[in-house]
Structure 1
Amino acid sequence: MFDKQTVLVLGAGASCQYGYPLGGKLVEDLIGLHNNEFMRNELALIGKTCEHYKVFEQVLKEAMPPSIDFFLETRPDFIEMGKLAIAYKILVHEGPNITARGIKSAWYHMLLDALGNTPAKIIANKLSIVTFNYDRSLEHFLHTAIKARFNLNDVQAAEVVASIPIVHVYGQIGLLPWQKGADDAKLPWGCAGTTGTALKASKSIKIICEENTHESPTLVQSRQLLAEADTTYILGFGFHEENCLRLGLDQKSGSRQGGRYGLSDARVYILEQKYGLKLHGQQDSDIPWLLENCKRYLASSSG
């Protein structure tokens, strides 16, 4: 178990093994949705047509942003359609395979194994999770697996999962039915085929320009967790400078480790010096290799 204050910071690479797109791939996936019948129905709910969406697609193509959230921060005129499209593309990836151990390089079950073999031990962990991802796959996995492993009901399993703070920096595509919160923000797992679900899910996605950056509750909580952590592990993270600064990585504290997938030697050196990080791995290693190494970091920190 994690007996010291530990924070996991998750980027898109941490969810991609479960079918979710990386930042750049998500941008690509949003282009062409004007032909999607479900999206046309969702657009109609906000008074938009496929012609409106085509304009959004064209600007997105020309902008070539590294991620959709950064694009929407500078183009608030597209926020409503953009959030709707994000919600739809994330929802369609919700399936029954999340709890399968057979997924190549899947690591959620490894995390649960490290947390302990009883509900009481899991609750006693000093682990917090800060994620930049919109998806709910980790919460769904933990609730489903804990419920089955320990013969718990929905409420009991929810209490165990709730003992692990999971902060979605930019929001998530709705709460799961067993999570605490407003009923109008809740959506069942795997509900992508129902008209209105993407619109409902989009309401829980946060774009920074919609609120004061420094006073965003999720960012304040995230910075506090990192500042108080003895150890921080950064998984599947792109290290975009704005995200690093928003997390307060420039305020060095505790031990910080992560993977260097896609980073040149020069970039690794800069990040390590600037943020007090220790980055592991190889530049040309793929995401599965990175997650395998992240598993080792997790295992080494648990007792």
Structure 2
Amino acid sequence: MFKRNTVFVVGAGGSREIGLPTGGELRAKIANALSSSANGFNRNAIGAALVEIYNQRSESLNIDRYLKAAKSISRAMFGALSIDNFLATHQADEDILLMGKLAIASVILEEEGNSAIKTDSNDEILFQNTETYWMNTFCKLMSEEVIRGDFATLFHDVSIITFNYDRCIEHFLPHYLKTYFLIDEVQANKLASTLNVIHPYGGVGRYPNRGGSAATIPFGSYKNPIHLAAAANQIQTFGERMVEDVTVKKMKHLINEAEHIVFLGFSFADMNMELLVPEDVHSKKVIFATTLGMSDPNLIPIRLKMISDFRTLDGMAPDVGMAALSANDMLNHYWRPIFK
């Protein structure tokens, strides 16, 4: 359990540890997913999902307009900073937005199913494949000194804000709890649901056994056109600026209440930071951040802005610790200051 109120902020680098794509890798996969031939989309599920969407609208589908949009996205990906940036540029183009979201949903759902935390024929995760995953280390450290059955406050002082569309956190956690604490699936799902996990930009469907009104989509279900259509509908890109006010307020409140903030595999994009930083910071923060792959010229302004953003009303600057480590290595190297 955590000794201090802690918020983890997770970016693509966090899911990369189990095989999910980073932004650059996602661009290439998006380009491939939207490829087509004279017979239509090479990914049949994308074409079928379009049919499903138009059936729901009770409208006739003009497939040619979406093949054109898909081709435009595919050609542009290697000149784009990210798929989200490209969709932000073309946010007024409904065809581009829809095809972009269908491609994101298709790729992310497929990558969930190919990840190191996919389940086997017995619906179990092979935990020997997850030793380098930060959630494995998170769970190990979180479980320290916890006696089976004494779960009331297990996740009392921790929350996770993930800017990823995948549901890897929600998928891994109940499997871990079931395996480690030797509890049944119902207990594990109930306990896992008490960990507060926020997706500011939505995700590829609500994870089974998690609350909410969004459509439930099984982990890794990318071939089902109904699931794919529903997943695309739940994705928001940062260019749309459609994050609900209640979600923004909740995130800012969590950050303000936190003593520790841990950034894992996060790129510190200005628009994402704006969603997190409170207007007035009430208490001194201790910040830990991974910076693997970032250059010093980029890190200097990021650090300075972070110090400015998290300075309290009475002038106390945060303690900022940055390390060129992976998300998992950060937890292994800094487990005592983070968890104790």
Shorter-normalised TM range? 0.7 to 0.9
User: Structure 1 stretch 128-137 or stretch 104-113: which is displaced more?
Assistant: 104-113
Of residues 166, 172, 178 in structure 1, which corresponds to 2:209? 178
User: Structure 1 stretch 237-246 or stretch 55-64: which is displaced more?
Assistant: 55-64
Identify the residue that residue 71 of structure 1 maps to in structure 2: 86
Identify the residue that residue 223 of structure 2 maps to in structure 1: 193
Conserved? CA contact 1:250–1:275, under 8 Å? no
Find out whether 1:168 has 2:186 as its counterpart: no
Identify the residue that residue 76 of structure 2 maps to in structure 1: 62
Paired-residue identity, %: 28
User: Structure 1 stretch 149-158 or stretch 222-231: which is displaced more?
Assistant: 149-158
Take 2:158 and 2:62, find their aligned partners in 1: how far apart are those partners?
43
Of residues 255, 280, 285 in structure 1, which corresponds to 2:322? 280
Q: How many residues align?
A: 296
Q: Which secondary structure does the structure 1 equivalent of 2:112 belong to?
A: coil
2:116 partner letter: N
Unaligned runs of 5+ in 2: 36-41, 54-60, 118-124, 308-318
Which structure shows the higher helix fraction? Answer: 1
* CA deviation string 1:104-155 (max 9, x = no partner): 6222211111112435346254010000001011111101111232333333
Find out whether 1:301 has 2:338 as its counterpart: yes
2:137 partner letter: M
User: Structure 1 stretch 125-134 or stretch 24-33: which is displaced more?
Assistant: 24-33
2:217 partner letter: L
1:21 partner letter: P
Take 2:111 and 2:142, find their aligned partners in 1: how far apart are those partners?
26
1:75 partner letter: H
Of residues 275, 284, 299 in structure 2, which corresponds to 1:268? 299
* CA deviation string 1:81-106 (max 9, x = no partner): 21111111011122373142334622
- Kindly name which structure, 1 or 2, has the bigger radius of gyration based on alpha carbons: 2
2:184 partner letter: N
Identify the residue that residue 87 of structure 1 maps to in structure 2: 105
Conserved? CA contact 1:84–1:199, under 8 Å? yes
Take 1:50 and 1:101, find their aligned partners in 2: how far apart are those partners?
47
Q: How far did residue 299 of structure 1 move?
A: 4.5
Conserved? CA contact 2:105–2:222, under 8 Å? no
| RMSD (Å) for aligned C-alpha atoms | 2.6
Residues 105 and 53 from structure 1, CA distance in 2 versus in 1: closer, same or farther, beyond 3 angstroms? Answer: farther
Q: Which secondary structure does the structure 2 equivalent of 1:20 belong to?
A: coil
Unaligned runs of 5+ in 1: none
Conserved? CA contact 1:5–1:228, under 8 Å? yes
1:270 partner letter: P
* CA deviation string 1:137-183 (max 9, x = no partner): 1111101111232333333222211221100111111112211223x
Q: How far did residue 15 of structure 1 move?
A: 0.2
User: Structure 1 stretch 118-127 or stretch 184-193: which is displaced more?
Assistant: 118-127
Q: Which secondary structure does the structure 2 equivalent of 1:130 belong to?
A: strand
Conserved? CA contact 2:105–2:232, under 8 Å? yes
Of residues 273, 284, 287 in structure 2, which corresponds to 1:256? 287
Identify the residue that residue 256 of structure 2 maps to in structure 1: 227
Stretches (4+) displaced over 6 A: none
Take 1:97 and 1:13, find their aligned partners in 2: how far apart are those partners?
15
Residues 119 and 239 from structure 1, CA distance in 2 versus in 1: closer, same or farther, beyond 3 angstroms? Answer: farther
Residues 274 and 45 from structure 1, CA distance in 2 versus in 1: closer, same or farther, beyond 3 angstroms? Answer: same
Conserved? CA contact 1:130–1:222, under 8 Å? yes
1:233 partner letter: V
Identify the residue that residue 40 of structure 1 maps to in structure 2: 47
Residues 119 and 211 from structure 1, CA distance in 2 versus in 1: closer, same or farther, beyond 3 angstroms? Answer: farther
Conserved? CA contact 2:7–2:160, under 8 Å? yes
Identify the residue that residue 310 of structure 2 maps to in structure 1: none
Find out whether 1:203 has 2:229 as its counterpart: no
Take 1:211 and 1:20, find their aligned partners in 2: how far apart are those partners?
25
Take 1:51 and 1:104, find their aligned partners in 2: how far apart are those partners?
45
Residues 119 and 129 from structure 1, CA distance in 2 versus in 1: closer, same or farther, beyond 3 angstroms? Answer: farther
Take 1:48 and 1:12, find their aligned partners in 2: how far apart are those partners?
35
